[in-house]
Structure 1
Amino acid sequence: MLNMWRISWRNITKNKKRFFISLLGIILGISFVTSMLVADKTTNDVFNYYEQMYVANADYWILSDKHTLSEDSVSSVSTSSAVMETLLALDKQAFFELEGDKSLNQRSVRITGVNDQNSPLLKLPVIEGSLDNEGLVIPEVVANLLNKKVGDTIRFADLGEAKVSAIVEYTQLLASPSDWEGAESTSFRVMAPLDLLREWTGMDNELSYLRFQTNEDGQQLFQSLQKEFLHSNVYVQPVVADDQQSNDIGGLYTFFYLIAGLSMFISGFIVFNMIYTSVMERKKEFAIMKSFGYLQSSVSRLIFIDVILLALIGTAIGVPIGIWLGDMFMQTLLSVFEFDMVYTLNWKIPALTAVVIGILFPVVFSLFPIYNAGKTSVLLTLKKANQTHSSTRQHIIRAIVGVGLLSFVFIDHPVSYLAILASIILLFPLLLLGLSRIFKPILKIVFGYSGNMAARNLTQQLNRNANTSAILAVGIAVILLLSAVIETAPEGYENEIRNTYGGDLRVTSEAPWSNEDIATLRSYESVSNVEPFTEAKPITWETIDGKKRQFSIFAVDKEGPTLFEDPERDELYKELKKEPSILLGKRAFDEWGGDVGGYIHINAPSGVQQLKVIEVVNTSHYSGYVAFMDESYLNNEFGWANSFDMLLTLNDGYTGEQLRDQLWQDFSKHLSKVETVEEAIKSTTSALSGMNELILTMLVLIVGLASIGTANTLLMNTLERNSEIGTMRALGFTKQQVRKMIIGEGLLIGLSGVIGGIASGMILVYVTSQSKLLGGFISFQIPLGNIILALIAGVSLSLFASWISSTTASKINIISSLKEG
C-alpha cells in the first residue's frame, strides 16, 4: 500500500508546475469554503450570544402600556413561591451635562435603574471596575466618547451626578452610539442603582418593568398573572431570545454559501482538468498495467489515491488559511453594524466540516476521470486509436441545450438562475470561436504570426478552453449580480421606507401623548399632519412548530398613515375589521411558517389569542419582522390602549433636522427619540454600503481563482503539444514567438471569460430586476465600477497566468520533443 502512495506522489509531482498550480487552486477553494463556514458559524454565535445576554436567566417580565407601573401592583410576584429571582428596573430619559456645543439630541441618554447590578437576571461583561450597586455602569463606547474612566464623575442635566463604577462590553441593554454623528438619531444608554435614579426623579414607587425567574410552577403563575392583569394597563410576557427585529442577517448567510459554492466549483474544475489530463497522458501506462493482469478497480484506485493525496495536501494548507480569512471576514462584517459587538472566532466545527469537504469535493469532481482510467481499452490504446478531440456533433448538441436553457430568462423562478449559468457554460465554445475570430486581427497586430497561431490553437482543445473561460465568466457574472444588488438595493430600500414609514418624522415619548402635546405638535408651522403611531411591544407569539418569538404589532386604519404596501390595501383594512385577524410582514410570515388563512397564537396583554393571518405584506418597519392589526381591535380586545409615538408629516420646504431641536426643547421632560425618515433610510442602507467593499474583494479573489484555472489549462495544452511546439521551434519559431503564442491564447481565454461574464452578469441583473419578487426593489442598473474592475482584474490575471505557462513552452527541448513525436 505504501508503494502505491509513493507512486501517486511521483505521478502528481512529475510536472511540478502543473502540480503547484492545481494545488494552489485547491488551497484557495478550500480556504474560501473554510472562511465562509467560520464566518457563518461565528456570526450566528455572536447574535445568539447577545440574545442570551439579553434574556439572561429571566423567564417572564411584567410591563405596562403606560410606560411605567406601580411597584405595589406587582408586589405579589416577589412573594410568590414560584419565583426564584426578581429584577426591578426603571427607565428614564435624561441628558448628559457636557462642555461644548452638543445639541440636546446628541446629549440624550436613557438611564436604566436596577435594584441589583449583580442579579443573575442581568449579564454585564465587565471590562474594568466592579458592579457595586453604588455607581454608574457604562458601555465601553460611551467611556471612550466621553473620555471617562472608573471613578470619574458623569453629570446629568437637572438630575444629579454619579461616579462610574464599571465599564462593560457591548450589550443590547446598554447599546449606544460610538460617535456623535450616531448620537443624532440614537440615545446613549447607561445603568444606575434604582434607588439613586428614584432619588433624582422622585419616581419612588414606579417601575418600567419587572423581570423574574421561576421554578417548575412558572407556567401556572404566568396564567394566573394574565388573569390578574386582564383589565389593567399591566401585562405579563415570556422573555424570549429573538432579536430579528434589529438584526436581519439572513442575506449574509446566503452570501456566505454562494461565495463558498462558487469557489468550490471553480476549484473542482481545476482538479478535474488536472486529473483528466493526467489520465489521458497515462493511457498507455494503464493499458500495459491491464495487459499484465491489473483489474479495472486497481487502475481506478491508483488515480483515486492521486486525488486523495492532492486533496489532503490542499486541505492541510487551505483550512488554516481559511480560518485566518474567516477572522478577517468577521471583522469586516461586524464593522457594518451600528454597534461595536465583540466575538470569539468559532473555528473548530467549521474547520472539521471544511476538512471533510476538502477531501470529498476533489474526489467528486474527479469521478469521471477515475472511472475513465479504469475503463482504458488495452487494444485501442496500444493502437493509439483513442481520440481526444471533440466532435462537431457534440458541439451542436451542446449549443442546442445551451440555447434551450437560456430561454429561462423569460421564466420568473429561482431555478432560472441555475439554468442561465448552465447555458453560459454550454454556449461558451461558440462564444470563444466568435471572439477568437473578432480578435484575431488585433492579435496579429500585437503578436504578429504568433497571434494567428494563438487563435488557431484554441480550437484544438475547444471544450477545455471554453470551459476554462466559462468558469471565469460564471464567477464574474455572479459577483456582478451581487454587486448590482448591493448598489441598487439602497434605492429600493429608500422607496420602500418612504412609502411605508407613515410620515417624515417619528417622535417617541416615554409617556403616552396628551391632547395638549398633540396640539403643540400641530401648531408648528412646518408640520402639516400629526398622526398617532401605536406600536404594541414586546409581544410574544408562537411559530407553527411551537417556538416562541417576539415582535411588534402596529395599529392600522384606512384613515391613518400608510405603514405597509399591498395592491389590495383598502380591502385588507376592511378584512381586519370583520374578525380578530392580523397581517404579517414578509420576514415574520416566513418565520411563522404557516399559510395565509391559518391562525397564529399570540400572548396579548389581555391573554392568549388566536388570530387569523389574512395576508402577508411588505413593509420597511423592522425589515418586515412585524404584524399589523386593526386599530380599534388593538386598543380594546387586544388590550393595548396607548400611543408613545407620533408620525409628523412636514410641509414642502421643511426638513426634520430643522424641527428636531424645537421638539427636544418643548418636550424634553418625556421625549426619548426623534427619528427622521432620512435617518431610517441611512440606518438601513449603511450596512449595504459596507458590504460593497467586501463584494469588490470577492470579485478580485474569484477572478484570481479562475485565473489559476486558466494557467492550469494553458499548461496542460502546452504539455500536450510538446512535439508540435518542438517542430515549430525546429522550423524557425523563436522562444519569444512561442511565448507570444501562449500569451495570446491566455489573453483570448481571459478576455472571452471577462466579456462573457459581463454579458451574463447583465442578463442576471435584468432577470432579477424583472422578477415579481424583487422587480420593484432591484432596478436594472449597470455596476460600471465593478465591471471596470472585473475587466482589469480578468485581463491582467489571465495575462499573468499565460505568462507562467509560456515560460514552460519556451523551455521545451527541440530534440527530445521531436523524439516524442
Structure 2
Amino acid sequence: MLSIWRISWRNMTQNKKRLFFTLLAMVLGTAFVTSMLIADKTTDDVFDYYEQMYVANADYWVLSDDYTFPEDLISPILNEPIVSNSLLALDKQAFFELADDRSLSQRAVRITGVSDQSSPLLTLPVIEGKLDNEGLIVPEPVAELLGKGVGDTIQFTGMGEAKISAIVEYTQLLASPSNWERAESTSFRVLAPLSLLREWTGKQDKISYMRFQVEGDGTELFNTFQQNFQGTSTYIEPVVADDLQSNDIGGLYTFFYLIAGLSIFISGFIVFNMIYTSVIERKKEFAIMKSLGYTQSSVSKLVLIEMTLLAFIGTAIGVPLGIWLGDLFMKALLGVFEFDMVYTMNWEMPSLIGVLIGLLFPIVFSLFPIYYAGKTSILLTMKMADRTTSTSKRHYVKAFFGVVLLLLGTIDHPVSYAAIIAGAILLFPYLLKGLSALMKPVFVTFYKYPGTLASRNVTRQLNRNGNTAAILAIGIAVILLLSAVVESAPRGIDNDIRSTYGGNMRVKSEAPWLAEDMEKILSYSGVTNVEPLAEATPITWETIEGQMRQFSVLAVRENGPSLYTHGQEKDIMNRLRQNPSVLLGERAFAEWGGTIGESIVLNTPNGKKSFEVIGVGKTSHYAGYVAFMDALVMNDVFGWANSFDLLLSVDKEPYDTIRDQLWTDFSSHLSKVETVEDEIQSTTSAISGMNELLFVMLVLVVGLASIGTANTLLMNTLERVSELGTMRALGFTKRQVRNMILAEGLLIGLTGILGGLATGILLIYLTSKSQLMDGFLSFQLPYSDMLLAIVAGVFLSLVAAWISSKSASKMDIQTLLKEG
C-alpha cells in the first residue's frame, strides 16, 4: 500500500510547474470558499448579537400610543409573583449645550432615563467607566465627537448637566451618528438615570415603556393584561428578537455563495484540465501496467490516490488561508456600514465545511479522467491508435447545443442564467478559432513568423484552450453582472424611495401632532402639503408556522400620500376600507409564509386580532418589512389613535431652511427631521460600499482563471517538446519561442476577456428586461469594472504566458530533442 502512495507522489512531482499551478488553483479555490462561508456565518452572528443585545432577557414590554403613560398603570404587573425583573424607561428629546456653532438639528439628543443601568434587561458593553446609576452612559462615537471622557460633564440646554460614568460600544438602543453631517438627520442617544431625567423634565410619574422578565410561561399573564389594557392608550407586546426592519442583508448571502461557487468552478476546471491531460500523456504507461496484470480498477485507483494527495495538500494550505481571508473580508464588509460593529469570527463550522469541500471537489472534477485512465485499451495504445474518430460531427452538435442554450437564456427564468453560461462554454472553442483568424495579421505584424505559429497552435488543442478562455470569461461575466447590480441598485432604490416615501420630508415628534401644528408648518415657504402619518410600532405577529415576528403598521388613506405601489391602488384602498384587512410589504409577506386571502394574526393595542391579507405592496418603508392598514380601521379596530409623524411635500425651498425652522418652532417635542435624500443616502451607502469589494473580487477571479491559462499553456508546451526542439534546431531563437507562447497566451486571454465582456453585457441586458427584477436593474454597463477586467485580464494572461515561455526558452536544443 505504501508503494502505491510513493508511486503516486513520484507521478505528481514529475512536472513540478504543472503541479504547482494545479495546487495553487486548489488552494485558492478552497481558501475562497472557506472565507465566503466564514463571512456568511460571521455576518449572521454579528446581526444576531446586536439583535439579542437589544432584546436582552426581557420577555414582554408595555408601551403606549400616547408616547408616555402613568407609572401606576403597570403596578399590577410589577406585583405579579412570576415577574422576576423589570426595567422602566422614559425618553426625552433634548439638545447638547456646545461651545461650537452647531445647528439645533446637529445638537439634538434623545435621553433615555432607565431605572437600573446594570439591569439584566439591558445589555451595555462597557469600554471605559462603570454603570453606577448616577451619571450618563454615552456610546463611543458620541464621546469622540464631543471630545469627552469618563468624568467629564455634558450639559443639556434648558435642562441640566451630568458627568459621564461610562462609555459603551455600539448598541441599537444607543445608535448615534458618527459625524456631524449625519447628525443633521439622526439624533444622538445617551442613557441617564430615570430619577435624574424626571428631575430635569418634571415628569415624576411618567414612563415611555417598561420591560419585564417572567419566570416560566407568562402567556396567561400576557393574555390577562392584553385584555385589561384594551380601550386605553397602553398596550402590552411580547419582546421579539426580530431586526428585519433594519437588517436587509439577504443579498449579501447570495453574493457570498455566488463567489464561492464561481471559485470552485474555476478551480475544478483547472484540476480537470490537468488530470485529463496527464491521463492522455500516460496512456502508454497505463497500457503497460494493464499488460502486466493491473486491472481497470487498479489503474483508476492509482490516479485517484494522486488526486487525493493533491486534495489533502491543497486543503491543508487553503483552509488556514481562507480563515485569514475571511477575517480581512469581514473587516472590509463591516466597514461599509455606518456604525462601528464588533465581531467574533465564526470559523469552526465553515472551516470544517471548507475541509470537506477542499477534499471532495478535486476528486469530483477528476472522476471522468480517473474512469478514462482505467479504460485505457492495451491494443489500441500499443498500436499508437486511438478510438476517437472524426470529430467534425461532434463539433456541429456541440455548436448546435451552444446556440440552443443561448436562445433558451432569453426566457425570463432564473435557470436562463445557467443556460447562457453553459451555451457560452460550448461555443468558446469556435470563438477562439474565429478570433485566432482575425488576430493573425496583428500577431504577424508584432511577432512575425512566431505570431503565425501561435495562431495555428491555439487551434490544435481547440477544446482545451477554448475551455480555458471560457472559464476566464465566465468569471468576468458574473462579476460584471454583480457590479451592474451594485451600481444600479442605488438608482433603483432611489426611484422606489421617492415613489413610496409619501413626500419630501418626514418629521417625528414625541407628542401627537395637532391640527394647529400642521397649519403652522403648511404656512412655511416652500411647503405645499402636510399629511399626518400614523405608525403603530412595535407590533408582534405570527407567521404561518406560528413563529413570533414584529414590524410596523402604517395607516393609509384615500387621496393620502403614496406609501406603496401595487398597480391597483384604488381597488386596494376600497378593500382595506370594507373590512379589517392589511396589505403586506414584499419582505413581510415572504416572512409570513401565507397566501393572499388568508389571515395574519396581529397583537394589536386592542388585543389579538386576525386581518385578511388582501395583497402585496412594493414599498421602501423598512425595506418592505411592514404592513399597511386603512386609517379608520387602525383607529377603530386596531386601536391606534395618534399620529406622531408628518409627511411634508416641499417645492423649491432648501430642506435645510425648513429643517431649521421646524427645530426652532417645535424644539420642545420634535425628535427627528429626515428628508427623502437622507433616507436614500442611508439605504444605499452600504450597497455603494460593495463596489470596492467587487473590484477586489474581480481581480481575484481573473487571477484564479489566469492560473488556468498558465497551466494550459504549460501543458501545451510540454506536449510540443519534440516540435520545439526541431524548431530550435532549424534556427528558431529562444526569443522567438518565447514570443510564440506569449502570443498564444495573449490570444487565449483576449478570447476570454472579449467573450466575458459579451456574456456579461448579455446577462446585464436580459436581467434589466426581466420581470423578475421588476425594473430594479437598468441596462447600464459598469465601465470601470469592464476596464479593470480588460487590464487585469491582459496583464495576468501575459504573466501566465511569460511563465510558460520562460520554461520552454530555458531548455537547450539537446534536451528538447531528447525529451521529444
The TM-score bracket by the shorter chain reads over 0.9
Specify the alignment match of 1:702 in structure 2. 701
What does residue range 644-655 of structure 1 map to in structure 2 within 5 Å?
A: 644-651=644-651, 653-655=652-654
Residue 387 of structure 1 deviates from its aligned partner by 6.3
Query: Which shifted more, 137-146 or 385-394?
Result: 385-394
CA distance in 1, matches of 2:499, 2:384: 71
Specify the alignment match of 2:667 in structure 1. 668
> 1:161/1:807 Cα in 2 relative to 1: closer, same or farther (>3 Å)?
same
> 1:458/1:645 Cα in 2 relative to 1: closer, same or farther (>3 Å)?
same
What does residue range 529-678 of structure 1 map to in structure 2 within 5 Å?
A: 529-651=529-651, 653-678=652-677
Q: Secondary structure at the match of 2:638?
A: coil
CA distance in 1, matches of 2:326, 2:704: 17
Q: Secondary structure at the match of 1:591?
A: helix
Specify the alignment match of 2:157 in structure 1. 157
Q: Secondary structure at the match of 1:459?
A: coil
CA distance in 2, matches of 1:730, 1:403: 45
Q: Is the 8 A contact 2:553 2:626 kept in 1?
A: yes
> 1:515/1:401 Cα in 2 relative to 1: closer, same or farther (>3 Å)?
same
Q: Is the 8 A contact 1:599 1:612 kept in 2?
A: yes
Query: Which shifted more, 755-764 or 387-396?
Result: 387-396
For residue 772 of structure 1, what is the amino acid of its counterpart? Q
For residue 680 of structure 2, what is the amino acid of its counterpart? I
Specify the alignment match of 1:505 in structure 2. 505
Residue 389 of structure 1 deviates from its aligned partner by 9.2
The alignment status of 1:516 with 2:513, answered yes or no, reads no
Q: Is the 8 A contact 1:710 1:746 kept in 2?
A: yes
**Residues 63-115 of structure 1, C-alpha deviation per residue, up to 9 Å, x if partnerless?**
00111111011111100112111100001111111111111111111111000
For residue 332 of structure 1, what is the amino acid of its counterpart? A
> 1:690/1:319 Cα in 2 relative to 1: closer, same or farther (>3 Å)?
same
**Residues 536-574 of structure 1, C-alpha deviation per residue, up to 9 Å, x if partnerless?**
100111112121111111111221100001111111111
For residue 140 of structure 2, what is the amino acid of its counterpart? E
What does residue range 395-414 of structure 1 map to in structure 2 within 5 Å?
A: 395-414=395-414
The alignment status of 1:105 with 2:115, answered yes or no, reads no
Specify the alignment match of 1:286 in structure 2. 286
What does residue range 113-132 of structure 1 map to in structure 2 within 5 Å?
A: 113-132=113-132
For residue 275 of structure 1, what is the amino acid of its counterpart? I
Q: Is the 8 A contact 2:541 2:549 kept in 1?
A: yes
For the aligned residue pairs, the C-alpha RMSD in angstroms reads: 1.2
For residue 613 of structure 1, what is the amino acid of its counterpart? V
CA distance in 1, matches of 2:257, 2:24: 21
CA distance in 1, matches of 2:590, 2:282: 54
Q: Secondary structure at the match of 1:150?
A: coil
Specify the alignment match of 1:742 in structure 2. 741
> 1:387/1:715 Cα in 2 relative to 1: closer, same or farther (>3 Å)?
farther
CA distance in 1, matches of 2:424, 2:553: 46
CA distance in 2, matches of 1:819, 1:58: 80
The alignment status of 1:782 with 2:781, answered yes or no, reads yes
Residue 141 of structure 1 deviates from its aligned partner by 1.0
Q: Secondary structure at the match of 1:470?
A: helix
The alignment status of 1:219 with 2:243, answered yes or no, reads no
Query: What is the number of residues matched between the two proteins?
Result: 820
Query: Which shifted more, 5-14 or 218-227?
Result: 5-14
Residue 695 of structure 1 deviates from its aligned partner by 0.6
Specify the alignment match of 1:329 in structure 2. 329
Query: Which shifted more, 353-362 or 380-389?
Result: 380-389
For residue 716 of structure 1, what is the amino acid of its counterpart? M
**Residues 330-381 of structure 1, C-alpha deviation per residue, up to 9 Å, x if partnerless?**
1111111121111111111111110111001111111101111111111111
Q: Secondary structure at the match of 1:121?
A: coil
Specify the alignment match of 2:750 in structure 1. 751
Residue 756 of structure 1 deviates from its aligned partner by 0.4
CA distance in 2, matches of 1:223, 1:252: 39
For residue 159 of structure 1, what is the amino acid of its counterpart? M
Q: Is the 8 A contact 1:390 1:462 kept in 2?
A: no
Q: Secondary structure at the match of 2:236?
A: strand
Residue 788 of structure 1 deviates from its aligned partner by 0.7
Q: Secondary structure at the match of 2:689?
A: helix
Q: Is the 8 A contact 2:288 2:378 kept in 1?
A: yes
Specify the alignment match of 1:770 in structure 2. 769
For residue 532 of structure 1, what is the amino acid of its counterpart? P
Residue 600 of structure 1 deviates from its aligned partner by 1.3
Q: Secondary structure at the match of 2:38?
A: helix
For residue 120 of structure 1, what is the amino acid of its counterpart? P
Fraction of identical pairs, as percent: 65
CA distance in 1, matches of 2:379, 2:772: 58
For residue 490 of structure 1, what is the amino acid of its counterpart? P
For residue 569 of structure 1, what is the amino acid of its counterpart? E
Residue 813 of structure 1 deviates from its aligned partner by 4.1
Residue 816 of structure 1 deviates from its aligned partner by 4.3
Q: Secondary structure at the match of 1:636?
A: helix
Specify the alignment match of 2:359 in structure 1. 359
CA distance in 2, matches of 1:88, 1:13: 71
For residue 725 of structure 1, what is the amino acid of its counterpart? L
Specify the alignment match of 2:349 in structure 1. 349
Residue 819 of structure 1 deviates from its aligned partner by 4.3
Q: Is the 8 A contact 2:380 2:387 kept in 1?
A: no
Q: Secondary structure at the match of 2:582?
A: strand
The alignment status of 1:137 with 2:141, answered yes or no, reads no
What does residue range 445-456 of structure 1 map to in structure 2 within 5 Å?
A: 445-456=445-456
**Residues 760-803 of structure 1, C-alpha deviation per residue, up to 9 Å, x if partnerless?**
10000001100112242211001111111100000010000000
CA distance in 1, matches of 2:558, 2:427: 54
Residue 578 of structure 1 deviates from its aligned partner by 2.0
Residue 409 of structure 1 deviates from its aligned partner by 3.5
**Residues 270-328 of structure 1, C-alpha deviation per residue, up to 9 Å, x if partnerless?**
11111111111111111111111112111111111111111111111111111111111
For residue 291 of structure 1, what is the amino acid of its counterpart? S
Residue 598 of structure 1 deviates from its aligned partner by 1.8
CA distance in 2, matches of 1:546, 1:712: 55
Specify the alignment match of 1:172 in structure 2. 172
Q: Is the 8 A contact 1:699 1:790 kept in 2?
A: yes
Gaps of 5+ in 2: none
Specify the alignment match of 1:268 in structure 2. 268
CA distance in 2, matches of 1:376, 1:418: 33
For residue 319 of structure 1, what is the amino acid of its counterpart? V
For residue 479 of structure 2, what is the amino acid of its counterpart? I
Q: TM-score under structure 1 normalisation? A: 0.99
CA distance in 2, matches of 1:200, 1:390: 93
CA distance in 2, matches of 1:751, 1:388: 30
Q: Is the 8 A contact 2:222 2:236 kept in 1?
A: yes
> 1:645/1:284 Cα in 2 relative to 1: closer, same or farther (>3 Å)?
same
Residue 812 of structure 1 deviates from its aligned partner by 3.5
CA distance in 1, matches of 2:385, 2:633: 83
> 1:276/1:489 Cα in 2 relative to 1: closer, same or farther (>3 Å)?
same
Query: Which shifted more, 514-523 or 476-485?
Result: 514-523
For residue 303 of structure 1, what is the amino acid of its counterpart? V
Gaps of 5+ in 1: none
Q: Is the 8 A contact 2:525 2:653 kept in 1?
A: no
For residue 709 of structure 1, what is the amino acid of its counterpart? G
CA distance in 1, matches of 2:252, 2:695: 15
Specify the alignment match of 1:248 in structure 2. 248
For residue 356 of structure 1, what is the amino acid of its counterpart? L
Residue 41 of structure 1 deviates from its aligned partner by 0.6
CA distance in 1, matches of 2:720, 2:578: 79
What does residue range 33-112 of structure 1 map to in structure 2 within 5 Å?
A: 33-112=33-112
The alignment status of 1:189 with 2:224, answered yes or no, reads no
CA distance in 1, matches of 2:53, 2:818: 74
**Residues 102-133 of structure 1, C-alpha deviation per residue, up to 9 Å, x if partnerless?**
11111111111000011110111111111110
